[in-house]
Amino acid sequence: MANHKSAGKRNRQAQAQRLRNRMNKSKMKTVIHKLDEAVAAGSSDEAKEALRKAISVVAKTASKGTIHKKNASRKISRLTKRVNAMTAAA
């Protein structure tokens, strides 16, 4: 329990930010999961479209500070490699 008015405000702000971060991470995980499904199905066009959307969402998540920008860069790189390998094999 907060002892000062400012500590109470910080607590309220932290709870709001935690919910925002959780929402952003959840959205990011969802688009990555959809990309994985498209790659598993072997659909090149679907995978490329899902990759385009995933890159956008991951970059936005990083720009909002929910994940670190190098973490986002690593995720984008790995997703791109996965889609490129799938399209090269097809």
CATH classification at residue 14: 1.20.58.110
Write out the residue range of the structural domain in which residue 63 sits: 5-89
The Cα–Cα gap between 11 and 64 comes to: 20
This prediction has a pTM of 0.87
Q: What percentage of the chain exceeds 70 in pLDDT?
A: 100
pLDDT at 1 over 80: no
The Cα–Cα gap between 56 and 66 comes to: 14
- DSSP one-letter code for 64: T
CB neighbours of residue 23 within 10 Å = 11
* Overall average pLDDT of the 39-66 stretch: 96
Confidence of residue 89 (pLDDT cuts 50, 70, 90): confident
Give 64-80 pLDDT, tens digit per residue.
999 999 999 999 999 99
Give 2-28 pLDDT, tens digit per residue.
899 999 999 999 999 999 999 999 999
Give the total number of structural domains in the chain. Answer: 1
